Amino acid sequence: MDGKSICAIVIVIIAIAMFVPFGSSDNVNGTSNVVVTYGETTYNNGEYKNIVDNYFNVNNAKESVITANDVNKISSGISQRTYNSNQIFSCAMVDLTSNNNIDIDVDSSKITTVTPSMYKSALDSAGITKGHVKITSPVSATGESALAGIMKSYEESTGKIIPTEVKDAANNEIYSQAKVAENSNASADDIANMMDEVKEEVAKENTTNGQTITNIINNVASNNNIKISDNDINVLVNSVQQTQSVQDKASDYKNQLSSYVESGAAQSLFDRIIGFVNSIINGGNSANKINATNFTSK
């Protein structure tokens, strides 16, 4: 390719950059590469929202809100807790602009109960294994309600709905692990890692049998020197049974999410432009065959 052709390409890039704000998220057919979900208490308080926005440090992200009613639909069947509209603080950001495995950052200065390992374990059960996830709150919060926000962010970002049964199982897993971590001699991360081992063994057995799962939990807990009461073992057994029973639907969502990310639909406009230019420069004479779809989301 001659110098004039390369110069022309550079001019095109500059022209596009003049009209597309750097760091903005694409929004095609109602979806967005970057979505921030706010707890409604945070969203309705300007000062709180600014704190969260500064922490996430993203521009033009699509915004969504998790309400007390949303959280109560989940917690009423799990922890029997009921929240008011002034109690929903946790916020989550999901960024799907890269095709990497899931990366989870938790603001431990504000999120007091749920750890990155716990979020990762629950999201894995829901078939969510890609994306950059960040969780914070303007004030101290357990972080239990943030999982609902994270999954809502994935739905908003991809336009693909997570089955209700899958969301319920993932939320139950968060609540169950948090409860057991409070009562055991192990840390929250230890419990999450233990449950990852348990779920792996249960998947190999392909079982939802309560006694089989109980034996697996006892064996894994013993191997990791973790002491758990019989009551808490029952809590974990119920959670694993629920998770295992929805794995077909979770696998379907995992495939949908992977297809969305790997197809380039979540790729940033800037990356697509760079990829387009590289393909022209590296393609030599074939560079004359320009495919306009390089500039559009699939």
pLDDT in tens, 236-289: 999 999 999 999 999 999 999 888 887 765 554 445 444 445 544 555 444 343
Question: Positive or negative CA dihedral for 29, 34, 40, 44?
Answer: negative
d(CA 137, CA 132): 17
pLDDT of residue 6: 53
Residue 134 exposed, middle or buried by CB count within 10 Å (0-12, 13-18, 19+): buried
The answer to whether position 72 is within a domain reads: yes
Residue type, 99: N
The answer to whether position 91 is within a domain reads: yes
Q: What is the pTM of this model?
A: 0.76
Task: Please state which of the ranges 136-140, 182-186, 193-197 shows the lowest mean pLDDT.
Answer: 182-186
Predicted confidence band at 2 (pLDDT cuts at 50, 70, 90)?
A: low
The answer to whether position 182 is within a domain reads: yes
List the beta strands (DSSP E) in 143-223.
none
Average pLDDT, the chain: 81
pLDDT of residue 142: 85
With beta carbons less than 8 A apart as the criterion, state whether 180 and 234 touch.
Answer: no
The answer to whether position 286 is within a domain reads: no
Paired with 81 in beta bridges are: none
The answer to whether position 294 is within a domain reads: no
The answer to whether position 8 is within a domain reads: no
The answer to whether position 241 is within a domain reads: yes
| Position 235 pLDDT exceeds 70 | yes
Closest CA to 91 of 55, 123, 131: 55
pLDDT of residue 5: 54
| Position 139 pLDDT exceeds 70 | yes
Note the Cα 254 to chain centre separation in Å.
12
The answer to whether position 274 is within a domain reads: no
Q: Which residues form the domain of 118?
A: 24-262
Domains identified in the chain, total number: 1
d(CA 201, CA 40): 39
**What's the whole-number mean pLDDT along residues 92-99?**
88
With beta carbons less than 8 A apart as the criterion, state whether 112 and 140 touch.
Answer: yes
Could you report the per-residue pLDDT of 149-192, keeping only the tens digit for each? 999 999 988 889 999 999 999 999 998 998 898 888 889 999 99
